[in-house]
Amino acid sequence: MTIIEKGIDLLALVGLQRAIRDVGTFQVVGALVLLAAVGVFVDWLWMYQLHKKMPPGPMPWPIIGNTYQLPDEKPWILFEELAKKYKTQVLTFWIGRNPTVWICDAWAASDLLDKRAGIYSSRPHMVVFGALGTGQNNLVTMTYGERWRLHRKLTHMGVGLQQVRNYKPFQDDESRIVAYDVLRKPEQYVMHFERYAASVVSIIGYGRRIASDTDPIITEVIAVMQRAAELNVPGKTFPMLLETFPILSYFPPEIAPWMHGLRRGGGRAYGFFYALAEEAATESKNHNYMKAIFDENDKNHLSKKEIASLSGNLFGAGSDTSSSTLVTFVLACCAFPECLPKAWEELDRVVGNARSPDLGDAPSLPYVNAFVKEVFRWRSVAIIGGQPHAPIQDDYYKGWLIPKDTWVQGNTWAIHHHSRDFPDPDVFDPERFLQGGKRNRPFPNEKGYMTFGWGRRVCSGQGLAEQGTWITVARLLWGFWIRKAVDEKGREVPVDIFAYTNGLNMRPRPFACRIQPRTETHRQTIEREGLQALEDLSVYEGETRYRMSTFYRENPSVE
């Protein structure tokens, strides 16, 4: 055999060995692919079986569920449409492998979240606002249990119904200042509302008011709260896509751009609000909520993160939401001017023009009361009812299974736009809350709306928000003519009643309007009362030394 022949035989042997090795590799790869396919199929069979037992909804795809169907904005409208399509009060929509239940009917919401509050008062596993957010340090995201009950009790110390009655004097004065500010600079009405709402909760929490529209609490903290609300909406983009693919939340931020600003345990968001709380507790001359929290902490053993959460919740639940509600009130006045004369007639008859209304006038102002209720109903701020509920055990509703720990959400938009309960739902009509009104219909609770949530998870600040909204709406109705803006030719500029932001706490997108005092006497009264209110509130003057924009740069070691 020649050298060439031996070489050919050697090459053939090597080729054969490589072929055998490649076949082995292909077999391993093929086996892994087959195993993965079988795993996905078995998992999808589990999803399919659960899908048949749960409330109606679209068929989920393997792994991704129905996430691909989510719109870029306002998913609550999709859930409303799907509930109509499937002719169901309660809808199942899969976020990845997790079924979520969307309640799109007031009576079903009452049955489940109110009447079965003992079952539906916990929270499901959440990635963005749970593991990567405040988790078990915050009443809002905390699962139901002893620690939650403690935080609820402590929250009631600040904004419970018994406490809220004590806040009437300074809340009334702050409302008078809103009217005074609107009188002087009507084009800045949104900033006046934000200052007002933030000032009320700042007096409660820290013993000092917010006097300026440019105070950092407004320019910085409110913006952060609004951004957080924008993120807390089911979606198919990051960060909420982490709810569909939770495994992605374990990647370190250094190599995962979708984790930018997110970290397990909530990151560094706590330090600033703890500093505000500690400052108020140790330095404020006025009694305040944070001082009470620190005074009782020997027996409650709250961590710094828990105190920071109680501090931050005041702004999260009491400032952005209240100011957004007032902006909606202005939009309603512009879009439905026919409602104003009825309010004016009642206010002129009961109150007159020598003083503005106060909370003591409420029993004598049924139309104004109905007007405020319609503001809450027409464009509810917490459009998907806040954070999701979760049952602590398997439950059944009308034969449908709702498994333990399922994400259960009240679709406030769908509930408040159900034509059975609210005919012509996009029409702003206060008379739907008056007996004999042509659009008046039965409702499962006495208030006639579900703006603040349900059961044991109802918004702790509901009483404060209702009290503050009533007195401010009543005062602005009494004192001003609020109407559409006009262009250079004197023509009214239309307003869009559907132009709202996409966040969990939605508000109207910017629009122009005209706000003018109704008469010269009203103007004089607003001015006189505003100046007196400034004098009355002077005891709360002060300013924090902390700025969110610089806090962590100046305190790099603070968590």
Q: Give the annotated binding-site residues for heme.
A: 459
CA dist 457 and 448 (Å) reads 18
Cβ-Cβ contacts under 8 Å for 376 (sequence gap 6 or more):
325, 449, 451, 466, 469
Instruction: Name which of 172, 171, 170, 193 is nearest 181 in CA terms.
Output: 193
Residue 17 burial (CB < 10 Å; 0-12/13-18/19+)? exposed
DSSP secondary-structure letter at 296?
A: T
CA 181 to chain centre: 27
* CA atoms within 13 Å, Cβ hemisphere of 400: 19
CA dist 382 and 500 (Å) reads 12
CA dist 102 and 407 (Å) reads 8
CA dist 317 and 551 (Å) reads 22
* In contact, 154 and 132? CB cutoff 8 Å: no
Instruction: Name which of 104, 113, 110 is nearest 418 in CA terms.
Output: 104
CA dist 231 and 238 (Å) reads 9
Residue type, 184: R
* In contact, 410 and 451? CB cutoff 8 Å: no
* In contact, 273 and 217? CB cutoff 8 Å: no
CA dist 314 and 217 (Å) reads 12
Phi-psi region of 516 (alpha: psi -120 to 50; beta: other; left: phi over 0): beta
Torsion of CA 28, 29, 30, 31, to 10 degrees: 50
Task: Give the residue numbers of the binding site.
Answer: 459
Q: What are phi and psi of 326, to 5 degrees?
A: -70, -35
Instruction: Name which of 224, 205, 180, 213 is nearest 284 in CA terms.
Output: 205
Instruction: Pull the structure tokens for residue 447.
Output: 């208030």
* In contact, 474 and 327? CB cutoff 8 Å: no
* In contact, 489 and 483? CB cutoff 8 Å: no
- 238 forms beta bridges with none
Three-state DSSP at 481 gives strand
* In contact, 361 and 350? CB cutoff 8 Å: yes
Instruction: Pull the structure tokens for residue 442.
Output: 């039965």
Instruction: Pull the structure tokens for residue 70.
Output: 């989510």
Instruction: Pull the structure tokens for residue 417.
Output: 């736009």
